[in-house]
């Protein structure tokens, strides 16, 4: 059970780090929350999460035979480690100037859940994240069966929901709840955790390399 909790927690922190970076979904959450109130964030995340669930199932089903090879795990783990280090470096470097993005033009789409999925697809970073870090975490969680995958995905979805709900609450209440200083503080903490997880991925990849010899 302790391992499953650690999977949940680490998945939560890594997903939170990705969610906090400015992108189409964050801009839409701010603009739609200003127009529709708190509910905009959770609805956008719902569509985003459904798309991610479909993608995760596709990865598990379509790549299952390939994922059983230790060499594939090593490549994904080392690649994920490098990207996590790169993400952490970028977050630390951007902290002094990091600001919550201003509200964009309100979306004309009434179905926010659908908009959440479409906005995710429009973000190249989202695809790269799942092809490297997400896939690496799926491989790690898969070692503990369906429960490992369930705890991974629950932590991932909860991170998105917590962050975008906080943004929605802050915007709908005049941004008094969530300001730029708090935003930078949370981002800096997440960047520190990313370094830790990158080191873990690097260690796991090296261990598997030693097993191949």
DSSP states of 4-19 as a string? HHHHHHHHHHHHHHHH
List the chain pLDDT tens, one digit each, 213 residues. 888 999 999 899 888 877 877 666 877 777 677 677 788 889 999 999 998 898 888 878 776 566 556 777 777 778 777 877 887 788 788 888 877 665 544 444 458 888 888 877 766 567 667 877 788 888 888 888 889 999 999 999 999 999 999 888 887 776 556 667 777 777 777 678 778 777 877 887 788 777 766
Reported pTM: 0.69
Q: What is the pLDDT of residue 116?
A: 82
In this predicted structure, what is the pLDDT of residue 153?
A: 94
The beta-carbon contacts of 96-99 under 8 Å, at least 24 apart in sequence, are 96/184, 98/180, 98/183, 98/184, 98/187, 99/180, 99/183
Distances (CA, A) of 195 to 48, 130, 137: 26, 18, 15
- Predicted confidence at residue 118, as pLDDT, reads 80
In this prediction, residue 108 carries a pLDDT of: 46
**What pLDDT does residue 195 have?**
81
Residue 63's pLDDT is: 64
The Cα–Cα gap between 51 and 198 comes to 26
> What is the structure's pLDDT at 151?
95
Instruction: Say what the pLDDT of residue 212 is.
Output: 65
Cα distance between residue 48 and residue 69, in whole Å: 30
pLDDT at 177: 62
Q: What is the pLDDT of residue 158?
A: 95
Nearest to 191 by CA among 95, 76, 79: 95
The CA distance from 65 to 37, in Å, is 45
């Amino acid at each position: 059970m302790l391992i499953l909790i650690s999977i949940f927690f680490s998945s939560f922190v890594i997903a939170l780090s990705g969610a906090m970076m400015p992108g189409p979904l964050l801009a839409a959450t701010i603009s739609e929350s200003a127009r529709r109130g708190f509910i905009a964030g959770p609805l956008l995340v719902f569509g985003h999460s459904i798309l991610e669930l479909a993608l995760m199932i596709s990865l598990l089903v379509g790549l299952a035979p390939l994922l059983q090879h230790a060499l594939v795990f090593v490549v994904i783990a080392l690649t994920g480690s490098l990207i996590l280090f790169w993400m952490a470096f970028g977050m630390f470097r951007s902290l002094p100037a990091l600001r919550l993005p201003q509200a964009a033009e309100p979306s004309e789409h009434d179905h926010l859940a659908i908009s959440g999925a479409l906005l995710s697809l429009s973000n190249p970073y989202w695809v790269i994240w799942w092809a490297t870090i997400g896939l690496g975490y799926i491989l790690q969680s898969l070692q503990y069966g369906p429960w490992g995958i369930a705890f991974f995905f629950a932590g991932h979805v909860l991170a998105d929901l917590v962050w975008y709900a906080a943004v929605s609450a802050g915007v709908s209440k005049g941004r008094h709840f969530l300001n730029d200083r708090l935003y930078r503080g949370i981002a800096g903490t997440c960047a520190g955790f990313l370094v830790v997880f990158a080191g873990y991925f690097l260690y796991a990849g090296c261990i598997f390399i030693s097993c191949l010899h």
